[in-house]
C-alpha cells in the first residue's frame, strides 16, 4: 500500500489538494462448511481460493474560503477508484469425525473436486461539492451533493474434475446515483450561563450510495448485486457544564438501509451473498463525562444506548427450498440495550491507569429470532507510568475471560465469532 497527499495554495483563500493511493492485497483463503452429520461423522465442503486485489484511487479537489452573506468553506472535486480482483483455486468435499474427538483431514490429503477462477473489474467515478456556510456566528449549515457513476464486469468459471466443459457466468452492471446531505449546527448560548457553559443543537439528513460486493464463489450464482443505499436522520444536543468539566450529550438517530448485502446458504449448502431488501436501525445514545478540576487528569465517563435494529422487508430460501419471511424481526447479534463505565487517570509525569466495564443484553442468534445469546459483561484495566522520556503501560483486556459471541460470520450461516480471551500487553513508548 502506498499513498500521497498534495496541498498547493493558488492564492489567498484558494488551494488545490490531491490524494493518490494504490493498494495491493494478495491472500490465501481456505474455509470449509459442515453439511449433514449423524453426531459422530459429518460431510463437509470447502473452498481454497487465492484472490489478488489491486486498487487505484485519486481524489482531486479545490478548497475555497470566502465571505458572501457570511463565511463559506467550499470544497469541490472529482474522485476515481479503479479496482481489479482476480483469483483461482478449487473446491473440495471431505468426511470428518466430529465426536468424541474431532478428526479433520489435512488439506493436502483432500482431493480437488473442481477448479475455479474469477475476475472482477470495477470503475467508480464521482463528482462532488460541499459547502460549510456560517451566515451568523451562532448558526452553521453544511450542504453537499455527489454524483457517482459505477461500471463493473464479473466473470467466474468452475469446472468439475472429469467434466469436459466448465460452467461460466458473466455479469456486468452500470449505475449512476446521486447522494448528499444537509445539516445544521445551532450554538444556542451566546455566552456561558452558569452552570451551563455550552449548549449546541444539531440536526442532519443524509443519503449515501455504495456499489455492492460481488458474489463470485460459484459460477452458477456469480452476479453483481444491487447497489446499497442508506438514508439517515439525526438530531441531538451537546452540552458543557461547570466550567467545561462536565459534559452531557444526547443523540437520536434513524437509518434505513436498502439492498444491504448479507450472507445466506445456497442450494449446495455453501454461503452466498444476497441483497436483504430493507433494514431499519434507530435509537438513542447518551454520554456523560466528568473531569473534576480538583484532580487534574481524572476522568469519570459513562454511556448508554438503546438500539432498535430490525428487518423491514426480507425473505430468503433455505438450502432445501423453504421460504422464510423475517419482516419485523431483529437483526442478529444487535443488542437492544448496552452501557459502559470508565474511570481513568493520567498525569503529565508519574502513575496513571484506567478501569472500564461494558455490558450488553441478550441478542438474537438467528434471523427468525428463535435463539438468543445471554447478556454479558466485559472489563478492562491498565496501569501507566509517564516519564520525561516516554511512557510505560500495561493493559489487560477482557479480564473476566468472557467468551461471548460478538459477531455473525460473513462467510457462513449460523457461524459466529467469539470474543478474544483474557490477554495482557505491555508497551514502551519513547518521546523524541
What are 52-97's pLDDT values in tens digits? Answer: 999 999 999 999 999 999 999 999 999 999 999 999 999 899 999 9
Say which range, 192-201, 210-219, 307-316, has the weakest mean pLDDT: 210-219
Distances (CA, A) of 94 to 39, 106, 233: 16, 10, 49
Query: Using 50, 70 and 90 to split pLDDT, how confident is the model at 411?
Result: low
**pLDDT value at residue 120:** 92
Inform me whether the pLDDT recorded for 274 exceeds 90. Answer: no
- CA pair distance 372, 333, nearest whole angstrom: 8
CA distance 382 to 93: 47
The pLDDT, as a whole number, for residue 104 is 87
Please report the domains of the chain, with CATH numbers, ordered by start residue: 50-84+112-430 (2.40.170.20)
Closest CA to 271 of 70, 408, 95, 80: 408
pLDDT of the residue at 266 = 66
Report yes or no: 256 and 279 within 8 Å, Cβ to Cβ: yes
Report whether pLDDT(25) > 90. yes
Q: Is the pLDDT of residue 271 over 70?
A: no
Residue 264's pLDDT is 74
Are 144 and 128 a contacting pair, CB within 8 Å?
Answer: yes
- pLDDT score at 245: 96
4 three-class SS: strand
pLDDT of residue 29: 85
Query: Is 356 or 268 the better-scoring residue by pLDDT?
Result: 356
| Cβ within 8 Å of residue 270, ≥6 positions away | 33, 45, 47, 217, 218
Q: Using CA atoms in the order 343, 348, 352, 358, what is the torsion angle rounded to 10 degrees?
A: 30
Residue 216 has pLDDT above 90, yes or no: no
- The CA angle 319-280-205, to the nearest 5 degrees, is 140
What's the whole-number mean pLDDT along residues 157-184?
90
Mean pLDDT of 18-34: 90
What is the b/e burial string over 355-382, where b = at least 16 CB atoms within 10 angstroms of the residue's CB? ebbbbbeebbbbbebeeebeebebbbbb
Q: Which of 132-146, 206-220, 226-240 has the lowest mean pLDDT?
A: 206-220
pLDDT tier for residue 340 given thresholds of 50, 70 and 90:
very high
Three cell numbers written together for 421: 480471551
pLDDT (0 to 100) of residue 242 = 95
Mean pLDDT, residues 109-124 taken together: 92
Name the residue with higher pLDDT: 393 or 432: 393
* Residue 241: band (very low, low, confident or very high) from pLDDT cuts 50, 70, 90: very high
- Give the H or E element holding residue 261: strand 261-265
- What would the pLDDT profile of 160-171 be if each residue is shown by its tens digit? 888 888 888 888
Amino acid at each position: 500500500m502506498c499513498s500521497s497527499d498534495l496541498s498547493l495554495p493558488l492564492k489567498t483563500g484558494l488551494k488545490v489538494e490531491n490524494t493518490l493511493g494504490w493498494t495491493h492485497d494478495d491472500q490465501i483463503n481456505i474455509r470449509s462448511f459442515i453439511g449433514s452429520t449423524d453426531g459422530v461423522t459429518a460431510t463437509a465442503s470447502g473452498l481454497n481460493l487465492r484472490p489478488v486485489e489491486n486498487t487505484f484511487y485519486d481524489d482531486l479537489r479545490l478548497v475555497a474560503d470566502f465571505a458572501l452573506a457570511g463565511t463559506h468553506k467550499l470544497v469541490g472535486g472529482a474522485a476515481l477508484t479503479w479496482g481489479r480482483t482476480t483469483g483461482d483455486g478449487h473446491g473440495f468435499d471431505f468426511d470428518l469425525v466430529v465426536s468424541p474427538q474431532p478428526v479433520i483431514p489435512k488439506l493436502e490429503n483432500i482431493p480437488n473436486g473442481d477448479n475455479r477462477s474469477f475476475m472482477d473489474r470495477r470503475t467508480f467515478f464521482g463528482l462532488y461539492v460541499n459547502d460549510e456556510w456560517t451566515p451568523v456566528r451562532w448558526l452553521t449549515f453544511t450542504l453537499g451533493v455527489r454524483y457517482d457513476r459505477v461500471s463493473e464486469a464479473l466473470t467466474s468459471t468452475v469446472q468439475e474434475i472429469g467434466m469436459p466443459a466448465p460452467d461460466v457466468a458473466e455479469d456486468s452492471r452500470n449505475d449512476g446515483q446521486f447522494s448528499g446531505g444537509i445539516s445544521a449546527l445551532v450554538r444556542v448560548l451566546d455566552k456561558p450561563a452558569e452552570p451551563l457553559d455550552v449548549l449546541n443543537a444539531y440536526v442532519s439528513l443524509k443519503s449515501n450510495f455504495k456499489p455492492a460486493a460481488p458474489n463470485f464463489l460459484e459460477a452458477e450464482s456469480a452476479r453483481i448485486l444491487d447497489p446499497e443505499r442508506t438514508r439517515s436522520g439525526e438530531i441531538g444536543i451537546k452540552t458543557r457544564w461547570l466550567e467545561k468539566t462536565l459534559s452531557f450529550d444526547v443523540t437520536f438517530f434513524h437509518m434505513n438501509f436498502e439492498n444491504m448485502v448479507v450472507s445466506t446458504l445456497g442450494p449446495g449448502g455453501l454461503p452466498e451473498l444476497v441483497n436483504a431488501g430493507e433494514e431499519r436501525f434507530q435509537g438513542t445514545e447518551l454520554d456523560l463525562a466528568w473531569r473534576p478540576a480538583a484532580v487534574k487528569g481524572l476522568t469519570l465517563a459513562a454511556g448508554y444506548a438503546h438500539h432498535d435494529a430490525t428487518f423491514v422487508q426480507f425473505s430468503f430460501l433455505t438450502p432445501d427450498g423453504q421460504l422464510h419471511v423475517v419482516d419485523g424481526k431483529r437483526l442478529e447479534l444487535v443488542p437492544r440495550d448496552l452501557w459502559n463505565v470508565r474511570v481513568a487517570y493520567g498525569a503529565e509525569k508519574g502513575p496513571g491507569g484506567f478501569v472500564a466495564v461494558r455490558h450488553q443484553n441478550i441478542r438474537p442468534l438467528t434471523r427468525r429470532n428463535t435463539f438468543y445469546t445471554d447478556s454479558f459483561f466485559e472489563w478492562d484495566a491498565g496501569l501507566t507510568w509517564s516519564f520525561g522520556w516516554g511512557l510505560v503501560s500495561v493493559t489487560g483486556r477482557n479480564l473476566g475471560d468472557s467468551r461471548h459471541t460478538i459477531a455473525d460470520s460473513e462467510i457462513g450461516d449460523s457461524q459466529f465469532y467469539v470474543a478474544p480471551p483474557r490477554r495482557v500487553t505491555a508497551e514502551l513508548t519513547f518521546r523524541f
